[in-house]
A and B are shown apart, each in its own frame.
Chain A
Amino acid sequence: MLAIYKREMRSYFTTSIGYIFLASALVISAVIFSVSTVFSQSADVSVYFSGLIFVLMIFLPILTMKSFSEEKRTKTEQLLLTSPVSTTQMVLGKVFSSFTMLAIFVVLSLLFLIPLGAFVGEDTSGPNAALVMGNVIALLLIGMCFIAVGVFVSSLTENQFAAIVITIVALLFMFAINLFNSMIEVYAIRVIFDWLSIYARYQVFTYGIFDIGALIYYLSFAGVFVFLTVRVFESRKYR
Chain B
Amino acid sequence: MVEIKNLVKNYGNKNAVDDISFTIQEGEIVGFLGPNGAGKSTTMNIITGYLSATSGTVTVLGKDIFKEPMAVKKQIGFLPEQPPLYVDMTVLEYLSFVFDLKGCDFNKREHLNEVMEKVKILDVKDRLIRNLSKGYRQRVGIAQAIIGNPKFIIFDEPTVGLDPVQIIEIRNLIRSLGKKHTVILSTHILSEVQAICDRVIIINEGKLIANEKTADLNRVVGQSAKMKIKVAGPNREVLNMLRTLQGILRVESDGIREGDTYSYLLETNPAIDVRKIIFNALASHSWPMMGMESVEAELEDVFVRLIQSTQGKER
Contacts and interface: CB of A to CB of B under 8 A. Distances in A.
A2 interface: yes
Nearest to B51: A237
A72 B303 CA distance: 34
Interface string B87-112: 11100010001101111000000000
Contacts of B82: 74-75
Contacts, number: 69
A15 B101 CA distance: 21
B204 interface: no
Interface in B70-92: 70-71, 73-74, 76, 78, 80, 82, 84-89
A86 B86 CA distance: 20
A41 interface: no
A80 interface: yes
A90 to B, nearest CB: 10
Interface residues of A, number: 25
Contacts of A3: 97, 100-101
B101 A239 contact: no
Contacts of A74: 82, 84-87
Contacts of A237: 50-52
A124 interface: no
B103 A84 contact: yes
B73 A83 contact: yes
A78 B88 contact: no
B50 A15 contact: no
Interface in B35-85: 45, 48-52, 70-71, 73-74, 76, 78, 80, 82, 84-85
A134 B87 CA distance: 41
Contact of B102 (A10, A84, A238): A84
Nearest to B87: A74
A84 B80 contact: no
A186 interface: no
Interface residues of B, number: 29
B70 A84 contact: yes
B101 A81 contact: no
Nearest to A234: B52
A157 to B, nearest CB: 19
A7 interface: yes
A18 to B, nearest CB: 12
A56 to B, nearest CB: 25
Contacts of B93: 10
B310 to A, nearest CB: 32
Contacts of B49: 81-82
A6 interface: yes
- The winner among B70, B93, B101, B102 for most chain A CB atoms within 10 A is B101
B86 A7 contact: yes
Nearest to B83: A75
Contacts of B87: 74
Contact of A78 (B11, B84, B97, B101): B84
A10 to B, nearest CB: 8
B97 A7 contact: yes
A85 interface: yes
Nearest to B141: A79
B84 A79 contact: yes
A6 B49 CA distance: 24
A82 B48 contact: yes
Contacts of A4: 101
A11 interface: yes
B186 interface: no
Interface in A1-50: 2-4, 6-7, 10-11, 14-15
B52 A84 contact: no
Given A84-B70, A84-B73, A237-B50, A79 B88 contact: no
Given A7-B86, A74-B87, A84-B103, A79 B70 contact: no
Contact of B78 (A76, A82, A86): A82
Given A75-B82, A79-B80, 5 more contacts: A7-B97, A76-B85, A78-B84, A85-B101, A85-B103
Interchain residue pairs A-B with the least CB separation, the first 8: A3-B100, A79-B84, A237-B52, A76-B84, A82-B48, A84-B73, A3-B101, A75-B82
8 contacts: A74-B87, A76-B86, A77-B84, A78-B50, A79-B78, A80-B101, A84-B74, A84-B102
Interface of B: 11, 45, 48-52, 70-71, 73-74, 76, 78, 80, 82, 84-89, 93, 97-98, 100-103, 144
